[in-house]
Each structure stands twice: as structure tokens, then as C-alpha cells.
Amino acid sequence: MAHPSFSSQDLRNICLVGHGHSGKTSLAEAMLFVGGVTSRLGSVNDQTSLLDFEPEEHKRGSSIATAFAWLEHDGHKINLLDTPGDASFLHDALTSMRAADAAVVVISAPDGVEVGTERVFAEAGELGLPRIIFINKMDRERADAAACLAEIEEVLGVTPIPIQLPVGSEAGFQGVVSLFQEEAFIYASGQPGQYTKRPIPADMADQVQEAREALIDAVASTDDQLLEHYLETFDLPADELREGFRNALKAGRIVPVLFGSATGAVGALSCLELVKWACPSPLEREPVDLADGTALDPTDDGPFAAQVVHTFVDEFSGKLSIFRIFRGIPPEDHTVLSSAGGSERLGALYALRGKDRETVAIPCTGDILAVAKLKQTHTGHSLSDPERPVAFEVVTHPAPMMAYVIEPASKGDADKIKTALERLLEEDPTLSTTIDGLTGHMVLEGMGQVHLDMAVERMARKYKVSVETSLPPVPYRETLARPVANVEGKHKKQTGGAGQFGVAFLDVAPRDRDAGFEFVDRIKGGAIPNTLIPSVEKGIRERMKHGFLAGYPIVDIQVALVDGKYHPVDSKDVAFQMAGSKGLRAAFDQGGTVLLEPIMELEISVPTANMGDVMGDITSRRGRVLGMEPRGKHTVIQAHAPLASVQRYAPELKGMTGGKGAFTMQLSGYEAVPKHLVDGIVSASPFHKDDDE
């Protein structure tokens, strides 16, 4: 079936965002079901979801990447962006949100506002997206609408305005009352999406009246003219209320709230209706920031400008780039300029429904489409008319939180690893690879253990490359314990012909932490020729790559070259390199070595009920709790801890908090290893100390 054509005015681009397991995918599946795309309500748990189609998602029971789908509702095309909620895949959600024109923030009624909710709600606000809150799982135990609304106000810092009220809760949840339509929608048990309209229940009349007055008051307060009309009658005509509501939502002055249960398709149609009439079209959105500091006004008649917001690599059909058109349509010859450099030729354009695709013959401004086999263009890159180049702002990649050393499981896989990793990094720019500077091993870096495990599983499934993983060695460092003066480094070697001779006297002192290495030339009277002084520094720098205690790099020292001796024939570059190296060894023999370990700065958000356990655990890891801050049902803990004790912190925190804890981590600096641990680290070091010769 051919994809129908739509105008930009009839497009709606909606991202579903929220904390993990809040029910975003279930809500998207319910929308597709009530919108007639699917004949059966897709289920994440039953692995029948149209949107969670990757085997890794089936295994985890949650999304690991943004999925895209579209449906037609009352003459409108609605593009749904179902984003992942797990912190390990948050960057993908933040990138995909840039393609949307409004956000539906899904909150689990039993769990309330969780840490992931805070992040995506704030990000949607910073992007200028209208925000709708869908309180999900109203049929679950501990679902409390009033408590959830209070927590939204306390934690998210906004006044939520319900446009519906739930009829019952927990096992007694039956449906909702619409404050706009002033009637109840009661859903049939066991028949997803089926409802009947009924009068407002008598016992809810006062509550509905109060909530409707609050809605009208909130809308009127956003517009002076509406407020004037409201103060005359303390009511607003239906058409003025709807128009005022739409304008207030678009401007971000109101955050409406819906209620439902996505697994029963309760509230899905209400959400679609609200999206259709109240959310802005692509031509109504605010100007989009460009990388050069200017902004682009969305229009359907300007030069083509688009941004790639997601990349998917299929093991059979190759790379698929999903992009949002912000202005115009592709040139007739489909040749566009990529911000990655060079031109790209756009082939057939597709509208996606999960992994299924449908050819789009007539694209329009604002649509979210896919194209296959772009050569150098990846997520975040821009595509534009060659005559009018455009580059959009790109989401900054977060720093890695965890790393695996990866080695081929069999010799035959060694040559395949590089290609497999390149394809993985095309799909997921938060993955990165590096070579460990100490061991030379390949290291895969990501946002946590779940993130890395998923990447390893995809390598095996998609590219038939199996790897063995291990934690990389902790990057310890060594430094000088005490300053020493006038230490001799002497190199003398006679081989029958011209010999090697060089003597360097050094003053060596420790520097402040993170101050780095400093070389000072204090030679006077030509004790060493100027041409050979750099050789001394070179020899010292080379020897600093492996220390004298455990073989880790030496840092934070000052070395002053104060005197020396040379021979007019036998003194040469290599001799003074060795003199510098031996002088450094002598300095550490006299001054002693301090072993340094990386200390990480952690921000940990946990349910307040788990705060004591988490703080005690941090202390047991040789960590220090620096402070705490309550945020709704959660407490944010600031702490420092050695990297050696938190390399696997993500799964361990998950276990302590029942999966409700989250954290960020970055390097704070280096500190001395406690003396009672030094011998164990030295004996376990992967390095051996080579003789200077």
C-alpha cells in the first residue's frame, strides 16, 4: 500500500519519554492499536511489541534504542518516537527528542517521579517542547493520583493541570472523566480500548467541578484577554477554552495531565486526540538552534535542511539513517550536502513502523523519514541543500561510565572485531573504543554494564563476532614521595669503537596533584652542550611511562637539570637519554614512591528508603559521602570513591535499590593509595620493571 501524502500542517511529531519501565512503549503500542495500525495490542512482556523488536529488548523487557512509528488519526499523520528510559541509553533519547515538536512524559503512578523523569522533563523544557504528562498504570497496586500530582509539583517544579480525572484506582480503576467534554469514559474489562460514554459519577461531581474550575483558571491566567472574559463570568466558552489551552500548551505555560493504563489501552485515544488538536505542527515550532549560534525558522518553502537523529544498522540490509526535515524538501536530484563533509545521494525515503518500512513518494517539511546507505553521515550530522549549507547543534556525548577490555573469543574473529565495532559505533555514538595505553588491549567504553553487555550481544548476533570481556586494569599512577637534590644519572658504555658517555645531575621534587610534569634547565657554564639538554628531557619522559614500584606511569614531578659532564667524542643523544633515565631511577630510589589511584566523583539518586544502605555501602568501598539532597521520594548523594571499588557499581546499585537507583560518575582526581593496599596492587600489576639498559 502506498504511503499517503500529508501537509506539514497535519503532521504531529511526538516523543514518549520517561524513566525506564514507566510504560512508554506500552502507551505507543496502545496508540498504534486504537489508531488501527495493529489488530492486536502489542505487549512488551509477551514479545509482541511492534516497537521493541530487537532480541536484546525482548531479553530485557525494555527499550534499548528509540523506535519510530507513524499512524493516521482523523486526517493527521502522527509520528511516534518511543525513547528508551534506562540511564545507559539516555543519550539516544535526548538526541531523538530533537526531532519532536512535543513530549508526552510517561510517569508510573505507583512509582511517581523518578530520576529519569526529571532529566527528560527538564530537557524537553530546554528544547522548548510542549509537555503533556500521562500518568500510567492507574490500575496497579499503590497507584495514587493525588500523591503523584503532588510529587510532580514538588520535584518537577511545575503546577500540573489535570484535564481528566481517574474513575477509581488500583484494581478499581475503570476509566476517566474528561474535563473538556464533561462526561466519563468507562472502559470494558478485558477488551483493550473499548469504552462507553456515561454521565459523570454522582460521587465525583464536586471533584470534577473543582478540577474544571482549576483548568479554566489556569488557562485564563496565561492570556490577558481570556482573563478579562473569565473575570466577567468565571467561565469560558468551549471554543475560547480550547484555543486558550492550545496556545498555553504551545508556549509551555501549562502542563496538562492525562490518566490511563497503557496495557489495557485506557487513555490512549484521549492522548491521540489531545496530540491532534492541541500540539503544534512542525511549522509552528520555535526556531531551531544552529551550530553557528543562529537559528533556523521552520518553513515548507525554503532550502532543504534536515538532521539525522538516529542510526540503525541491520545485519541484512545495512545502515538506515533516520532524519527530521526542518525546512523544505530534498532537491529534485536528491543530492545533499552532509555536515560530515562531502555530498550524499538520498535514495528511496521511508516511513518507519518499528523495523518495517514504507516508501514515501512525496515528503513534506517536518516529517521524520529514513534513508538507506548514507556513506559518511552519522547520528547528529546535518543534511542540507548544497547551495545553502546548514549545520544543526549536536548533543554532546556523555563521558563513558564503564569499560570492558575485549579480546576475540577465537583467532578467526580477530580481523572481524574492528569492522563490527565500527558498525556498532555508527548506531550508538555513546559507545567508544580506545587502546589501553598501559597494556595495549582494545577497550570498549560505554554508559554502564547493561550498555556494554548489549553491545557485546549485538556484536555476536549481528556480525557473528564473539569476544571475551574483562574489566580494564585500574589506571594507577606513581609519583615521588620526597624531594631529592643533586642525584647523579651516569651512563658509560664502551663497545670497542666510539663509546657512550653522559652524566646528568638532577633535582627532583613532587608537584601538586594534577600539576603534571615540568622540566627545568639550570645548566650553567656549558656543563652539558645545549644540543644535548633536550636528550636528557627525552630520556626522563620516556622513563616516566613506567614507574619503578609497580610499572605505572609517573606523574606530577618537577625535574631540574642542574649539572652534568660530557665527552667531546663519546657524548651523544642516546647517552644523555640514558643519563636522564638513570637519574630519574636514582631519584626515586632515594626519595621513595607514592602509588596514586583514581578517585571518582559520584552523584547517586536513590529512593530515600534505601539511602542508609547506599551510604553505608559507599563507606565500605573506601568512599566518602560529601552531602545529600532530598528530591521528592528520592535522595541525591554526592560522594567520592576509588575507581577500583566502583568499576561494577551500576549492577550493584541496581541490586541495592531494586532497580530504582541511578548515578553519574566522573574522574575527580588522584589520591595516594592506603599503605596497607600497596603490596597487593604491586604484586597484581600487569607490568614488569625492565632494566634501564
pLDDT tens per residue across span 131-186: 999 999 999 999 999 999 999 999 999 999 999 999 999 999 999 999 999 999 99
N-terminal to C-terminal alpha carbon distance within the chain: 76
Of 300-309, 454-463, 488-497, which gets the smallest average pLDDT? 488-497
Q: Is the pLDDT of residue 507 over 80?
A: yes
Same domain as 144, residue 247: yes
Residue 2: the pLDDT is 65
Query: Same structural domain for residues 572 and 659?
Result: no
From residue 432, alpha-carbon distances to 224, 327, 404, 443, 467 in Å are 52, 32, 11, 8, 16
Instruction: Please tell me the distance from the alpha carbon of residue 105 to that of residue 14, in angstroms, as a whole number.
Output: 10
Q: Nearest Cα to 657, choosing from 626, 688, 623, 633?
A: 633
Residues 85, 188: one domain? yes
Cβ-based neighbours of 104, under 8 Å, separated by 6 or more? 14, 15, 16, 17, 27, 132, 133, 134, 271, 275
Which residues 6+ apart lie within 8 Å of 195 measured at CB?
Answer: 175, 185, 186, 187, 188, 266
Alpha carbons 672 and 689: distance in angstroms, whole number? 21
Does the pLDDT at position 671 exceed 90? yes
Residue 693: predicted pLDDT: 41
Per residue in 572-607, pLDDT (tens digit) is: 899 999 999 999 999 999 999 999 999 999 999 998
Query: What is the residue whose three cell numbers read 595495549?
Result: 440
Per-residue confidence (pLDDT) for residue 585, from 0 to 100: 96
Strands 288-289 and 295-296: what pairing? antiparallel
Q: Is residue 199 part of a domain?
A: yes
H helical segments located in 428-572? 449-463, 533-543
538 and 677 in a common domain: no
Distance CA 28, CA 354 (A): 11
Same domain, 85 and 230: yes
- What pLDDT, on the 0 to 100 scale, is given for residue 691? 46
Residue 693 maps to a domain: no
Mean pLDDT of 431-460: 89
Distance CA 656, CA 612 (A): 11
Tell me, what's the pLDDT at 53? 87
Contact status, residue 605 vs residue 635, Cβ threshold 8 Å: yes
The CATH number covering residue 562 comes to 3.30.230.10
Does residue 151 sit in the same domain as residue 241? yes
As a dihedral over the C-alpha atoms of residue 171, residue 174, residue 176, residue 181, rounded to 10 degrees, the angle is -170
Task: Tell me if 391 is assigned to some domain.
Answer: no
In this structure, what CATH number is given to the domain that contains residue 30? 3.40.50.300
Last-in-domain residue among 549, 567, 591: 591
Residue corresponding to grid cell 527538564: 122
Q: Which of 470, 499, 514 is the last residue of a domain?
A: 470
Q: Decide if pLDDT at 44 tops 70.
A: yes
Task: Tell whether the model's pLDDT for residue 645 goes beyond 50.
Answer: yes
| CA–CA distance, 216 with 227 (Å, rounded to integer) | 10
DSSP-assigned letters across all residues of 669-684:
EEEEPPHHHHHHHHHH
CA dihedral 434, 439, 441, 445 (to 10 degrees): -40
Looking at the domain assignment, is residue 578 inside a domain? yes
- CATH number of the structural domain spanning residue 429: 3.30.70.870
CA distance 101 to 284: 9
Q: What letter does residue 282 receive in the DSSP assignment?
A: G
One domain, residues 432 and 535: no
Q: How far apart are CA 151 and CA 135, in angstroms?
A: 12
pLDDT at 50: 93
b (16+ CB within 10 A) / e for 14-46: bbbbbbbbbbbbbbbbbbbbbbebbeebbebee
Beta bridge partners of 480: 593
Res. 505: pLDDT tops 60? yes
CATH number of domain containing 674: 3.30.70.240
Measured N-to-C along each axis, helices 24-34 and 268-278 cross at an angle, to the nearest 10 degrees, of 80
> Which of 615, 618, 674 has its CA nearest to residue 649?
618
Percent of residues, the chain, with pLDDT higher than 90 = 73
Of 405 and 115, the structure prediction assigns the larger pLDDT to 405
Question: Based on the domain organization, do 488 and 459 belong to the same domain?
Answer: no
Please state, in angstroms and rounded to a whole number, the distance separating the CA atoms of residues 512 and 283. 56
pLDDT for 1 equals 55
Residue type, 682: V
Q: Please indicate, yes or no, whether residues 29 and 113 belong to a single structural domain of this protein.
A: yes
Q: Are residues 66 and 159 in the same domain?
A: yes
Domain boundary among 225, 251, 284: 284
Tell whether 210 and 257 lie within a shared domain: yes
Q: Are strands 305-314 and 518-521 parallel, antiparallel or unpaired?
A: unpaired
691 belongs to a structural domain:
no
CA–CA distance, 492 with 370 (Å, rounded to integer): 69
**Is 607 domain-assigned?**
yes
Arithmetic mean of pLDDT over the chain: 92
Which DSSP helix (H) or strand (E) runs through 245? Answer: helix 238-250
* pLDDT above 70: percentage of residues in the chain: 98
The pLDDT tens digits for 233-268 are 888 889 999 999 999 999 999 999 999 999 999 999
265-311, pLDDT tens digit by residue?
999 999 999 999 999 999 999 899 999 999 999 998 899 999 999 99
> Domain range holding 529?
477-591
| 3-state secondary structure at position 653 | helix
> How far is Cα 155 from Cα 144, in angstroms, rounded to an integer?
16
Within 414-512, residue ranges assigned H as helices are 416-427, 449-463
Report how many domains make up the chain: 5
Residues near 228 by beta carbon (within 8 Å), at least 6 away in sequence? none
Q: Is the pLDDT of residue 37 over 60?
A: yes
Q: What is the pTM of this model?
A: 0.83
2: in domain: no
The answer to whether 564 and 527 have CB atoms below 8 angstroms apart is yes
Residues 308 and 244 occupy one common structural domain: no
Residue 692 maps to a domain: no
